[in-house]
Amino acid sequence: MKILIKSIILMTLMIAMSAKAQGPQLCTQEPLKACQKGDACDDGLRRPSDIPDCHGDQLGIIKRSAGTERYFCQFSPRTRLKRPLVIFLHGGSGKAENMYGSTDLRRRAEEGRFHLVSVQSRNVHLDFGNLKDGRHHDSYYSKWERISKNHDVADMDLLIKRMVDLGNVDPNRIYFIGWSEGALFSQMYGIMREHVASLYGHRVKAVVAYTGTNPYHRKYENHRDCESSYNFSTQLPIMLLGRSCDAAACSKKSLSTRPDWSDTESMEEWHETLIGDLGNRNVERVIIDDNGMEVSRCEVFTCSRWRAVKNHITWPREQEENILRFLFQKI
C-alpha cells in the first residue's frame, strides 16, 4: 500500500513538473519575417541584416540558408585559457556598433577577461503596438523548440556553437547583456534554453536586462494586449537594470500616468512576475537615476517624456562593473 501511495505521489509530481515546463502561451503564431528584395521593409530596407562597423574587430556572418544572413562583431582575447562569452544585443532600431560608441564593454574585454560579441539584428516586418518595420530582435515568437523556427533563436544557437568551437570559450559561462528590445530577447532566449537546450546543448548562465521588461506581455496588432499564461518557472539569474525615469516605465504607477509611451509592462511589474508567478529566486533589481547612480524608488509625476526617452537611449557606463560582477559571479 505504501509503495502504491509513493508511486501515485511521484506520478503527480512528474505531471505537475511537466505542466510547469510547457512554455509560454504564444501571442503570435509565426516568427517575424525578414525584409529582402521584392519584399522590402516600409522604411526601404531590402536585405535581411545590415553590415555593422566593427571598429577593427572581426566581422562575422551567420548564414543558415539563403536570405537569412546576419552579422556580428567579435573580440576575443589572445589566450588559450577558457574565458567567458558575453553577448551584447542592441535595442530596437539600433546597430551592433552601438556597443563601441555607447559602452565601455569593448575596453573592458580587452583586459583579457572575456570574449565579447555584438550581434546585429535582422531587418524585419513588424506592425505590433508602436513598433514598425526595421531593425528588431524577434522576442515575440517564444515557442520552446530544440530547433527553433524563430530565425533569431536559431542564429543565436549557431553563433554560440561557433564561439565555443574556438576552443578558448568556456561553454558553461555564456552571458547576455541586452538593451531595451535586446533585453527582452535575451531574457526570452535564456529562459527558453534553460528548459529546452539547443541542438548543440548550450545554455545561458545569466542575463542583464537594461531598460527591458517582460517579453511575454506585449502589445500586438491593432494594439491588442496579450499576456502569456505562466505555466512554467525559471531560475535564470537576471539583473533588471533601469532608470527611475525611463521610457520602459520604472513602476506600475509611473506607467499609469503615460500608458501610451510603452508597448510593455513596467519594470516593477515584470520583477514581481519573475519572483511571484515564475518563482525566480535569482533576480536582482537595480534602479538608477539620470547619472547612473543607484536610487531606492521610481519617479512618477516628475518624469517628463523627454527625460524618459533620453534615459532609455543612454547606456549606463557607470554600472558596467556592477553588470559584469553580477554576470561573472554566476559560474
Give all domains of the chain, ordered by start, each with its CATH number: 42-328 (3.40.50.1820)
Q: Which three cell numbers stand for residue 292?
A: 547612473
User: How far is Cα 180 from Cα 182, in angstroms, rounded to an integer?
Assistant: 5
Across the range 292-308, mean pLDDT stands at 95
Phi, psi angle pair for 59, to nearest 5°: -95, 125
- Residue entry with cell 520583477: 271
User: How far is Cα 167 from Cα 63, in angstroms, rounded to an integer?
Assistant: 21
- With contact defined as beta carbons under 8 Å apart, do 228 and 196 qualify? no
pLDDT at 12 over 50: no
Across the range 8-35, mean pLDDT stands at 64
User: How far is Cα 136 from Cα 123, in angstroms, rounded to an integer?
Assistant: 6
pLDDT at 39 (0 to 100): 86
pLDDT at 67 (0 to 100): 67
CA dihedral 185, 212, 191, 126 (to 10 degrees): -30
pLDDT tens for each residue of 240-258: 999 999 999 999 999 988 7
**pLDDT band at residue 1 using 50, 70 and 90 as cut-offs:** low
Across the range 275-299, mean pLDDT stands at 98
Question: Does the global pTM surpass 0.85?
Answer: yes
pLDDT at 66 (0 to 100): 65
pLDDT tens for each residue of 37-51: 888 888 777 888 999
pLDDT at 20 (0 to 100): 47
pLDDT at 176 (0 to 100): 98
pLDDT at 135 over 50: yes
User: How far is Cα 131 from Cα 319, in angstroms, rounded to an integer?
Assistant: 28
User: How far is Cα 184 from Cα 186, in angstroms, rounded to an integer?
Assistant: 6
Which long-range contacts (C-beta less than 8 Å, at least 24 apart) are formed by 36-41? 36/67, 39/125, 41/123, 41/124, 41/125, 41/133, 41/134
- With contact defined as beta carbons under 8 Å apart, do 120 and 72 qualify? yes
User: How far is Cα 164 from Cα 117, in angstroms, rounded to an integer?
Assistant: 12
Share of the chain above pLDDT 90, in %: 73
User: How far is Cα 148 from Cα 62, in angstroms, rounded to an integer?
Assistant: 15
**pLDDT band at residue 262 using 50, 70 and 90 as cut-offs:** confident
DSSP 17-76: HHHHTS-PPPS-SSPPPBPBTTB--TTS--SSB-----TTSEEEEE-SSTT--EEEEEE-
pLDDT at 270 over 60: yes
pLDDT tens for each residue of 91-102: 999 999 999 999
The DSSP 8-state label assigned to residue 250 in this structure reads S
**pLDDT band at residue 5 using 50, 70 and 90 as cut-offs:** very low
How far is residue 79 from each of residues 73, 82, 166, 244, measured CA to CA in Å? 19, 8, 11, 40
Helices (H), the chain: 2-20, 98-102, 105-108, 151-164, 181-195, 252-256, 267-275, 305-312, 320-328
pLDDT at 14 over 80: no
pLDDT at 228 (0 to 100): 86
**pLDDT band at residue 11 using 50, 70 and 90 as cut-offs:** very low
pLDDT at 325 (0 to 100): 97
pLDDT tens for each residue of 172-214: 999 999 999 999 999 999 999 999 999 999 999 999 999 999 9
For CA atoms 181, 24, 86, 76, the dihedral sign is negative
pLDDT at 138 over 90: yes
Q: What rounded mean pLDDT belongs to the chain? A: 90
pLDDT at 221 (0 to 100): 84
